[in-house]
A = this chain, B = another copy of it.
Amino acid sequence: MKRLDLIFSERELDAIIKTLEKANVPGYTVMKHATGRGPERVVTEDMEFTGLGANAHVIVFCEQELIDKMRDNIRDDLSYYGGVAYISEATPL
């Protein structure tokens, strides 16, 4: 089993969730209000009221095949607006 961590602007959330749903992932978890800094852009929470929004952190536990299936779409989603995606190993309890 794999764990996929996606971190990106909250406003891309709908697009990412659509990608996940299309791939039929067994589930996902969304944590909003994350802030941070990437190689290019800065998002600070204190600016959230502006509607600039913060980041969302999405966690997906799923099989490697599903990740392979989604790879291109997710990269597409993230390539334009930024954001990161990492995979790690995970074993169900």
With a CB–CB cut-off of 8 A, which chain B residues contact A38?
Answer: 26-27
Does the CB pair B39–A88 fall under 8 Å?
no
Contact (A33, B36) CB under 8 Å given A61-B86, A90-B86, A93-B71? no
Interface size class of A (residues with CB under 8 A): 35 or more
With a CB–CB cut-off of 8 A, which chain B residues contact A7?
Answer: 29, 59
Contact (A31, B28) CB under 8 Å given A85-B92, A90-B5, A93-B87? no
* Mask of A1-44 contacts with B, CB within 8 angstroms, 1/0: 10111010000000000000000001111111111111100000
List 13 other contacts, CB 8 Å, given A30-B45, A84-B92.
A5-B59, A26-B38, A27-B36, A27-B37, A27-B84, A29-B34, A29-B35, A30-B36, A31-B34, A61-B84, A85-B92, A86-B92, A87-B93
